[in-house]
Amino acid sequence: MKALRLIGRLAVGITLIIAVSGALLLSDWARRSQGQASGPRLAIVQLASQAVLDDGVRGMLTGLEESGFIPGKNLLIQRYNAENDLPTANAIAKEVVERGFDLVLTASTVSLQTVGKANETRRMKHVFGLVTDPVAAGIGISRDNPLDHPAHVAGYGTFQPVEKAFRLARELFPELHTVGVVWNPAEPNSEASTKQARLIAKELGITLAEAVVDNSSGVFEAASSLVARGVQAIWVGGDVTVMVAFEALVTAARDGRIPVFTNMPPQAERGALFDVGANYFEVGRLTGLLGAQALRGLDLSTVPIRNMVPERLVINQSVLNGLRDFWTLPSQVLARADTVIDEQGVKHERAAAVATTAVPPGRIYKIGLGYFAPEAGVESTIKGLVDGLREAGFDRDGNLDIRAMHAQGEIANLVPIMQSLDADGLDLIVPMTTPALTAASTSLKHTPGVFVYVYDPIAAGVGRSFTDHLPLITGVGSFPPLEDTIEVLRQLVPGVRSVGTLYNSSEANSRKVVSVARDLFAARGIGLEEVSVTNTSEVYQAASVLMSRGIQALWVTGDNTALQGFEGIAKVAQDHKIPLIINDPEFTDRGALAAVGIGFYHSGRAAARLAARVLRGEDPRTIPLENVAVKEVRLNREVASDLGIAIPAAVEAMLETSTYESVSSSH
């Protein structure tokens, strides 16, 4: 017997050595596999291969890419996974800190904990996400002051809405009086959510039966013990140990003919009756966006630690079959769900018809649009906004009244316009164009706003980040695809070394885009000649000045002043036989050679989603800003012919596959 115990201990030791060695070998392979890629070095550390954490890490990568950090191109990434083994997690944390990455992103409370403690002295930049209670991790984050945390650490807590889960369970089964939970006391996240469950269970008169485990292999036995104790349902909070063995827990519940409900979407896809919790892909994306800001030099000590729960409800109707008790799924509950899995197992995302049922009847909703001046991009955006609102249940022919005001191309007129709309008793104001958003940021005092047709909302003054913004305003930014623009320009003008641009330096959008473009052009050995204007009457002269500087091409981004004088720019370019490249597809047929820009119709539809949420009563301060860019590449073949430019195959390929959707943070 002693020999068997010795062999068992040796086996455990060998297993841990193999696990740690595997993790380190995998990280070394990842480093080699990225070849000659350059850029900052990033580590991503997760605790286990589990759906929620995998979704979150995918979101992190998406947020990084949408911020311009492309793995293998301008970012070196090494990923680590402890596979839910604490000794391996500690070894990984030590390895990451010793390698001195520029940034580490962690997914899960335990990963925050292990990396946070290993990093106390090294103080490498560390951004965390997918953490129930950051304070409980014990790395020095204050519960009372969001800015009281280690200066090199920042991120988002995502405390699951435990109370909502229990209240919904009672709504589906009013006779519910006993709920079981399996949890691992070694996980601070699980302890925090279990404490919350005890409180709400007590309030609702529900007995919470608990079974503890210290590893995933014990989950089935623990769940079976709860079934034997007569629980009517099993609840799962943010316990990673349990999530790794979730199928085993569901099997035990099915054996007892009772449902499982969770705070961890998308477990309904794995057999739970419902999940009410966070969209963990979105939490990961926001974490990736914050990580990108850290890579660009953001001081993490200035970032408050906030609770971020972009809520998601997933329901699996097929679970009702065979339950011993009479659980129901009322239509009003199904209408609230983001995802419904029907009795045949087919998944349905929330449809427009479902969203429409949430609009109270018998009321007219009043919306005010305020923008710089009429032009094609604004018209496309408004069409997308109106179409999206109609699909959400707000129709101009029924319950929606839209009024519009523009500044006639004069920035000074925008503040009075916004003040007038704010005093008009509207339900919502939609600032369109960056100058309009800048005016709204200082003028809106009573009416919520959802902006759109804006390049960079942060530069416009709407907030410090996509989650830390003005309480009355949320919305959709659409930063132009500058790298693609420059690539198209280089393809159409081979050997280009000098490009000219003109813009109004009073427009925050233009200042930001030009500042980003300046560096991108320089990195490719292209000089950017700049001339600023203050009003539309100066546009033609500014374009003429650029021609005198020997430029080989002219590039104009979405500057509102420049677009109002676009015909003058196009005429100067035509007279001097200079290619004109723009970022506004709607202007291509007015004299530009090519446009690499944004389909603002799609931005308008995205803004409609947020507008509908605000019109239904959601607080704008809780809705993160979004960046939605549907890239469009357009070519004016007549201008190309006039300039004697043959269209390269690479540009033709872009034209064939020019429209795709991405969601990202502001640059």
Task: Give per-residue pLDDT as tens, 315-348.
Answer: 999 999 889 999 999 888 888 888 999 888 888 8
Q: Show the tokens assigned to 103.
A: 């940034």
pLDDT of residue 36: 52
Selection from 161, 167, 191 nearest residue 179 by Cα: 167
* 3-state class (DSSP) for residue 431: strand
157: pLDDT strictly greater than 60: yes
**Number of neighbours of residue 366 by Cβ within 10 angstroms:** 17
The answer to whether the beta carbons of residues 125 and 149 sit under 8 Å apart is no
Cα 279 from Cα 290, distance rounded (Å)? 17
354-411 pLDDT tens trace: 333 345 556 789 999 999 988 888 998 999 999 989 888 898 878 899 999 999 888 8
Phi first, then psi: what are they for 463, rounded to 5°? 170, -175
- Give the CA count within 13 Å in the CB-facing half-sphere of 545: 13
**Number of neighbours of residue 649 by Cβ within 10 angstroms:** 9
Reported as a pLDDT band with limits 50, 70 and 90, residue 306 is confident
pLDDT of residue 72: 87
Strand partners, 469: 463
Q: Show the tokens assigned to 421.
A: 């709309």
Residue with tokens 């292209």, as numbered in its chain:
526
What size, in residues, is the chain? 667
Stretch (H or E) spanning 188: helix 188-204
Those residues whose C-beta lies under 8 Å from the C-beta of residue 21, and which sit 6 or more positions away, are none
pLDDT of residue 174: 95
Q: Show the tokens assigned to 667.
A: 């640059």
To the nearest 10°, report the CA torsion of 331, 336, 342, 347. Answer: 160
pLDDT of residue 350: 63
The mean pLDDT of the chain is 87
Query: Alpha-carbon Rg of the chain, whole angstroms?
Result: 28
pLDDT of residue 417: 95
Those residues whose C-beta lies under 8 Å from the C-beta of residue 549, and which sit 6 or more positions away, are 498, 500, 529
- What is the percent of the chain where pLDDT is above 90? 62
Cα 59 from Cα 503, distance rounded (Å)? 35
pLDDT of residue 345: 84
The answer to whether the beta carbons of residues 534 and 560 sit under 8 Å apart is no
**Which whole number is the average pLDDT over 226-255?**
95
- Residue 415: exposed, middle, or buried by beta-carbon count in 10 A (0-12, 13-18, 19+)? middle
pLDDT of residue 451: 97
- Give the CA count within 13 Å in the CB-facing half-sphere of 512: 20
Stretch (H or E) spanning 280: helix 280-295
pLDDT of residue 227: 97
Tell me the residue ranges of DSSP E strands in 184-336: 207-212, 233-236, 260-262, 274-278, 306-307, 311-316
The answer to whether the beta carbons of residues 656 and 590 sit under 8 Å apart is no
Q: How far is CA 616 from CA 205, 365, 394, 611, in A?
A: 32, 10, 10, 9
565-580 pLDDT tens trace: 999 999 999 999 999 9
Selection from 306, 302, 307 nearest residue 150 by Cα: 302
Cα 557 from Cα 571, distance rounded (Å)? 17
The larger pLDDT score, comparing residue 480 to residue 40, is at: 40
29: pLDDT strictly greater than 50: no
Selection from 141, 94, 142, 138 nearest residue 119 by Cα: 94
Concatenate the DSSP letters of all residues of 469-523 into one string.
B-TTEEEEE----HHHHHHHHHHHSTT--EEEEEEETT-HHHHHHHHHHHHHHHH
The model carries a pTM of: 0.49
Least confident range from 99-113, 243-257, 563-577, 625-639: namely 625-639
461: pLDDT strictly greater than 60: yes
Reported as a pLDDT band with limits 50, 70 and 90, residue 618 is confident
24: pLDDT strictly greater than 50: no
Cα 362 from Cα 356, distance rounded (Å)? 13
pLDDT of residue 104: 98
Phi first, then psi: what are they for 521, rounded to 5°? -65, -45
Those residues whose C-beta lies under 8 Å from the C-beta of residue 15, and which sit 6 or more positions away, are none
15: pLDDT strictly greater than 50: no
